[in-house]
């Protein structure tokens, strides 16, 4: 593993670790709906926001939130390099589901001008581009929350194989993964049963959708995330923490 692959984050303080352990014990045998409903109401979870990419499978969690509490804050990171289809899908889906508090998050104009004035940073350093356009804007937006809800699932990649419902997101904040135990067939069944609209690019061979320059179609039989940063030893964008470390690049 390259030395710069991961940035070490401070370990979760004992009080935070105990809180997370208690939450996982409390909701261990609950369904995704019960975990999400409980987390949004449980004082021990604190004030939460849903972070959504409005990608291929995002509609499941967005629909669950719209049923449980449509006023839940939803953070959408517009990297300004997304597919046009994603931007249109975000607008259409937010309106259709009746989400009342969708917040569009972007890097500041000053940061963009200083670090990527010609929009080619992704060609030279994908980790730096993700950090500029996603990680730092998200961290700033999360400053007013005690935790955030994600749509991550164990089956999506090796680094997520042991994913719990609740985990640390650096010292002081938690991350909630209600769909952690869902399999691909659970996702498909939920979409079909609730007649939820799919991202238009899924039918064109994009089962995992990120920024346009760094996302390619996936061939039949390939891992669903094979089209993300294809040809690079990279599977996360840097907004997640695995085993107490902020993921910036490849994971052993």
237 catalytic per annotation: yes
* Rounded-to-integer distance, Cα 6 and Cα 183, Å: 28
* Rounded-to-integer distance, Cα 156 and Cα 34, Å: 22
SS3 34: helix
* Rounded-to-integer distance, Cα 137 and Cα 76, Å: 10
C-alpha distances in angstroms, 84 versus 20, 77, 107, 121, 200? 38, 14, 18, 20, 10
Beta strands 74-77; 102-105: pairing state: parallel
Under 8 Å between Cβ of 30 and 189: no
* Catalytic site residue from 129, 211, 214, 237: 237
Q: What angle do CA 204, 205, 210 make, to 5 degrees?
A: 100
Q: How many CB atoms lie within 10 A of CB 213?
A: 15
Helices (H), 171-229: 184-193
Q: List active site positions.
A: 237
């Amino acid at each position: 593993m390259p030395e710069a692959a991961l940035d070490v984050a401070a370990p979760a303080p004992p009080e935070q670790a105990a809180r997370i352990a208690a939450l996982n014990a409390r909701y261990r045998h609950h369904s995704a709906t019960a975990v999400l409903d409980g987390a949004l109401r449980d004082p021990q979870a604190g004030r939460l926001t849903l972070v959504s990419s409005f990608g291929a499978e995002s509609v499941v969690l967005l629909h669950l939130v719209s049923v449980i509490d449509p006023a839940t804050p939803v953070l959408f990171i517009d990297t300004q390099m997304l597919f046009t289809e994603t931007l249109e899908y975000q607008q259409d889906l937010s309106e259709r589901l009746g989400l009342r508090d969708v917040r569009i998050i972007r890097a500041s104009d000053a940061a963009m001008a200083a670090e990527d004035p010609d929009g080619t940073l992704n060609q030279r350093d994908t980790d730096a581009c993700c950090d500029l356009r996603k990680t730092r804007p998200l961290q700033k937006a999360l400053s007013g929350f005690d935790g955030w809800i994600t749509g991550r699932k164990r089956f999506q990649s090796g680094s997520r194989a042991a994913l719990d419902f609740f985990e640390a997101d650096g010292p002081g904040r938690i991350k909630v993964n209600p769909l952690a135990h869902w399999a691909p067939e659970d996702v498909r069944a939920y979409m079909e049963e609730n007649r939820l609209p799919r991202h238009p690019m899924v039918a064109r061979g994009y089962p995992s959708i990120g920024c346009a320059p760094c996302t390619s179609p996936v061939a039949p039989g390939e891992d669903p995330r094979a089209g993300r940063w294809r040809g690079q030893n990279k599977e996360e964008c840097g907004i997640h923490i695995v085993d107490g470390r902020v993921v910036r690049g490849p994971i052993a």
